[in-house]
């Protein structure tokens, strides 16, 4: 088999001299290259891979002078990168190739810090990172896509060595994540994962958590269980809804969409629950996506004159400090956020230090458990 002449031609059939290149019949200058970068943004490994018709992993190896890539191909890719002013993530490269590491900063994106679950994850990340000599840079998206984009741009400018993120509720475009990956910055998602980006993630077993919670409600006497969940574009919301639905079907109960609501905070729960209780055939059980929502239900149900759990049972999902500060104390699913944070940090740091390949996607699931307290029979 004849080897391809990578030194002389690229995917588009242009020889290497053309990469010093010609634009409208004249030689491309350094100024032209700067203008192109300002217009289209810095060249990424993905751009180089597209130019040569190869994978991003192959480009990465060639730029690191890996012997796994032929010398001919290495030189062609390195020349192209140099001529087009490509600079890989210097911090990440230093971390992977040196025992003396100049900067060990991990960027963290948290939707809201007020939630016990997110704060416990952050604690797990910080402790695992600190144990391996890393600092963290924490930014809040406040559930806003636009803030999330700006945070990613800021992380890139500040040369973080990796990013750990839970996406905002209204995020539907994922280009800002892909740009980080294309620049050689590893990403690990936690809790709310992004299915539109091929990146590592750590989640709890949302489906089984919901399934076990609703099964407990049914097996303790509930025949009509309402569901309060998050926005359905989030994978976490879909998984919990599917667990709820399958538990009903497994026990011969129909799914009634009239008692399924998009509601994931206490204020909304207190607003929505009165109309649910006013139904002719009201629920005798509620399963909520988090503890705050469940406590909003509890408060409203008690205010309406119903006894918990004699008349209505309630189950949440988190097992935060508020679950034991209400009356009666809340039955809930424990998410083990600290462990989620630890796992996410370990995956990321292993990639930064070259212990795990950047292109390897790791998917870890942390098991939940049902904590039975006073809001269920």
Q: What is the pLDDT of residues 137-149, one digit of tens each?
A: 999 999 999 999 9
Residue 33: pLDDT over 50: no
Instruction: State how far the Cα of 143 lies from the Cα of 119, in Å rounded to an integer.
Output: 15
Give me the percent of the chain exceeding a pLDDT of 90: 68
How far is the C-alpha of 307 from the C-alpha of 375, rounded, in Å?
Answer: 10
Q: Backbone phi, then psi, for 68, in 5-degree steps?
A: -70, -15
What mean pLDDT is reported for the chain?
A: 86
Q: Which residue has the tokens 């890719």?
A: 77
pLDDT at 10: 41
CB contact at 8 A, 375 and 213: no
Per DSSP (E only), the strands in 111-186 are 135-140, 162-165
**Nearest Cα to Cα of residue 200 among 350, 55, 374:** 350
Contacts of 94 (CB under 8 A, 6+ apart): 101, 102, 103
Which residues face 314 on adjacent strands?
286
In the prediction, which pLDDT does 160 show?
A: 94
* Comparison of pLDDT for 258 and 10, the residue scoring more: 258
User: What pLDDT score was predicted for residue 19?
Assistant: 39
3-state class percentages of the chain: helix first, strand second, coil last, to nearest 5: 45, 15, 40
**Mean pLDDT score, 122-132:** 95
- Contact between 166 and 335 under an 8 Å Cβ cutoff? The reply is no
Kind and range of the H or E run holding 239: helix 235-250
CA distances from 254 to 230, 279, 309 (A): 21, 17, 22
**Is the omega angle on the peptide bond into residue 328 within 30 degrees of 0, that is, cis?**
yes
Q: What phi and psi values does residue 371 have, to the nearest 5 degrees?
A: -110, 110
244 token code pair: 């709820």
Edge-first strand listing for the sheet containing 331-334: 260-262, 225-229, 285-288, 313-318, 331-334, 369-371
**Rg of the chain on CA atoms, in Å:** 26
CA distance 305 to 303: 5
Backbone angles phi and psi of 125, in degrees to 5 = -60, -50
CA dihedral 321, 243, 363, 337 (to 10 degrees): 0
How far is Cα 205 from Cα 239, in angstroms, rounded to an integer? 9
pLDDT, residue 46, reads 82
Reference 21, options 108, 90, 84, 100; nearest CA is 84
What pTM value is reported for the model? 0.72
Q: Distance between alpha carbon 303 and the CA centroid of its chain, in Å?
A: 38
Q: How confident is the model at residue 68 (pLDDT cuts 50, 70, 90)?
A: confident
Mean pLDDT value of segment 360-375? 97
1 has a pLDDT exceeding 70? no
Q: Which residue has the higher pLDDT, 50 or 21?
A: 50
- pLDDT on residue 37: 40
Instruction: Render pLDDT for 87-105 as a digit per residue (tens, 0 to 9).
Output: 565 445 555 555 444 468 9
Confidence of residue 347 (pLDDT cuts 50, 70, 90): very high
CA atoms within 13 Å, Cβ hemisphere of 339: 11
Is cis: bond before 126, omega within 30 of 0?
Answer: no
Q: What is the pLDDT of residue 194?
A: 87
| Least confident interval from 77-86, 179-188, 228-237, 271-280 | 77-86
DSSP letter for 227, please: E
């Amino acid at each position: 088999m004849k080897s391809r002449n990578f030194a002389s031609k690229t995917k588009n059939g242009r020889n290497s001299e053309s990469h010093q290149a010609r634009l409208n019949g004249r030689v491309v200058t350094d100024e032209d290259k700067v203008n192109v970068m300002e217009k289209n943004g810095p060249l990424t490994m993905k751009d180089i891979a597209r130019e040569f018709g190869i994978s991003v992993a192959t480009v990465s190896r060639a730029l690191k002078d890996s012997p796994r890539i032929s010398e001919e191909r290495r030189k062609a890719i390195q020349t192209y990168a140099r001529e087009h002013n490509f600079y890989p993530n210097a911090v990440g490269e230093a971390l992977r190739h040196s025992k003396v590491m100049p900067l060990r900063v991990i960027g963290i994106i948290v939707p809201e810090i007020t939630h016990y679950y997110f704060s416990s994850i952050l604690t797990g990340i910080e402790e695992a990172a600190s144990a391996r000599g890393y600092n963290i840079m924490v930014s809040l998206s406040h559930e806003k896509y636009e803030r999330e984009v700006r945070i990613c741009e800021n992380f890139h400018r500040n040369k973080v060595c990796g990013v750990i993120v839970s996406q905002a509720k209204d995020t539907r475009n994922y280009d800002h994540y892909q740009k980080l990956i294309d620049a050689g910055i590893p990403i690990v998602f936690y809790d709310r994962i992004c299915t539109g980006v091929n990146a590592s993630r750590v989640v709890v077993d949302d489906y089984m958590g919901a399934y076990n919670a609703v099964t407990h409600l049914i097996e303790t006497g509930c025949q009509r269980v309402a569901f309060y969940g998050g926005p359905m574009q989030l994978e976490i919301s879909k998984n919990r809804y599917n667990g709820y639905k399958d538990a009903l079907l497994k026990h011969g109960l129909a799914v009634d969409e009239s008692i399924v609501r998009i509601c994931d905070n206490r204020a909304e729960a207190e607003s929505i629950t009165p109309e649910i209780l006013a139904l002719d055939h009201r629920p005798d059980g509620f399963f909520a996506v988090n503890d705050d929502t469940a406590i909003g239900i509890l408060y409203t149900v008690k205010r309406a004159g119903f006894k918990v759990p004699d008349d209505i049972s309630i189950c949440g999902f988190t097992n935060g400090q508020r679950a034991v500060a209400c009356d009666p104390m809340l039955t809930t699913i424990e998410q083990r956020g600290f462990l989620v944070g630890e796992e996410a940090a370990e995956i990321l740091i292993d990639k930064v230090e070259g212990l795990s390949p950047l292109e390897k996607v790791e998917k870890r699931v942390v098991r939940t458990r049902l904590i039975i307290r006073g809001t269920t029979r």
